[in-house]
Chains A and B, each alone.
Chain A
Amino acid sequence: MSMDRREFLKIAGISSILGLGASIASATDPIWQRSLTPPQVGPNKEALTAQHWAMVIDMSMFKTEEDFQKTISACHTIHNVPDFKNPDGSVDIKDQIKWIWKETYEHSFPDQENPYMEERLKEMPFLVLCNHCERPACVRVCPTKATFKRPDGIVMMDMHRCIGCRFCMAACPYGARSFNWRDPRPFIKDENKEYPTRTKGVVEKCTFCTERLAVGKIPACVEAAPKGGMFFGDLSDKNSEVRKLVETRYTIRRKSELGTGPSVYYLIGGNDHA
């Protein structure tokens, strides 16, 4: 088919008009206007809010194994965290899912390990969890924005978007993320019917109990910890308990030299020490 210049310009003109018309029509199509915005949606009235949620953990208050187990299981039961055990009772490290767990000093603070140091500290077990970093490495690497930083400082997971690539696990310097290699459902002893489980193929971690903050409760671990063991609050609020603790006592953070800005602070001295 041959076409002269005039014919070509006519067709080009008509097509562009049609194209513009279509784009206007699709812009007014309700399907693009459906995402929910205030005032139709809003947070719960009783929700706890902050600029920068942070946690202070006083390790000297965790005296017995039971103190640790109580705190850990408070978290793991309400969040339906599976306990993978093989039929013979052994556990494959690879399968293990943990939101909050017990770790040795040298694994928690590899940067602070001196050849000779206070025996008490060297032997001290630590309670570790996601640090909800100010500059989270996991969020930078996530290709689907399944993990993201909320305005209140919490590093949150959107399980619906996670494709299980595990970049975040490689990026996280704290090992705070676990991958579901197997279907977790059969390994959850008592399901909390008010919280979802996860499925095979997604990464999960501590969320600072966003679902509890939304109804005005503090995180489950803080509630279950021995008295004075864990504190939770708004670090940007000058009058908050956590801010005062951080300002008046000597605290350490895990691998802060990496520049991630962890929001979990550890008190190691006990009252008489600091």
Chain B
Amino acid sequence: MKIYNGGPIIFGLVVFLGLATFPFYYNIGKANPKPEPKTDTPAIQEWEKQYGKKECVESKAYMRAEHMQLLNNWRDSVVRDGNRQYISNTSGKSFNMSLQNDCMHCHSNKKKFCDECHNYMAVKPYCWDCHIQPQEKEETKS
């Protein structure tokens, strides 16, 4: 089989493949550090002192996998049904369903808690277009 203008075509293909796979070569051996969300805020430490353990609204595994679904359900419950109290399946404790006033009261470290994973996964939730995020001190990188 003969390719007309084979030389430039093959050269072009090689260049294209080189460019398309460049990100892979470029990042070889440079694994992104695993995200490590921090739960060491004053409010959480206070909670730990009071109840003897760190606990969220639901179990850690559930929160990690389902927090988006939970937040959506909370939103609908509060805004549309006017139901603001949530009883945990895990601990039986009652929580006020409020992202700004309740979630972020404990997790006042948005940068090291929310953004840590969201940036790693390249997801951009638009919560903070309206909801006011807690004020954080600029952390100095050591």
Contacts and interface: CB of A to CB of B under 8 A. Distances in A.
Nearest to B97: A41
Interface string B103-142: 0000000000000000000000010011110000000000
A43 B82 contact: yes
A148 B80 contact: yes
Question: Which label, helix, strand, loop or mixed, suits the secondary structure of the A interface?
Answer: loop
B74 A43 contact: no
B47 interface: no
Interface residues of B, number: 25
Nearest to A157: B79
A160 B75 contact: yes
Contacts of B79: 156, 158, 160
Contact of A193 (B75, B77, B132): B132
Interface string A41-80: 1111001000000000000000000000000000000000
7 closest residue pairs by CB, A with B:
A199-B129, A41-B83, A196-B130, A36-B77, A196-B131, A36-B73, A158-B79
Interface of B: 69, 73-77, 79-87, 89, 96-97, 100-101, 126, 129-132
Interface of A: 31, 34-36, 38-44, 47, 148, 150, 152, 156, 158-160, 191, 193-199, 210, 214
12 contacts: A34-B69, A34-B73, A35-B76, A39-B87, A41-B77, A41-B84, A41-B87, A43-B82, A47-B84, A150-B82, A152-B82, A193-B132
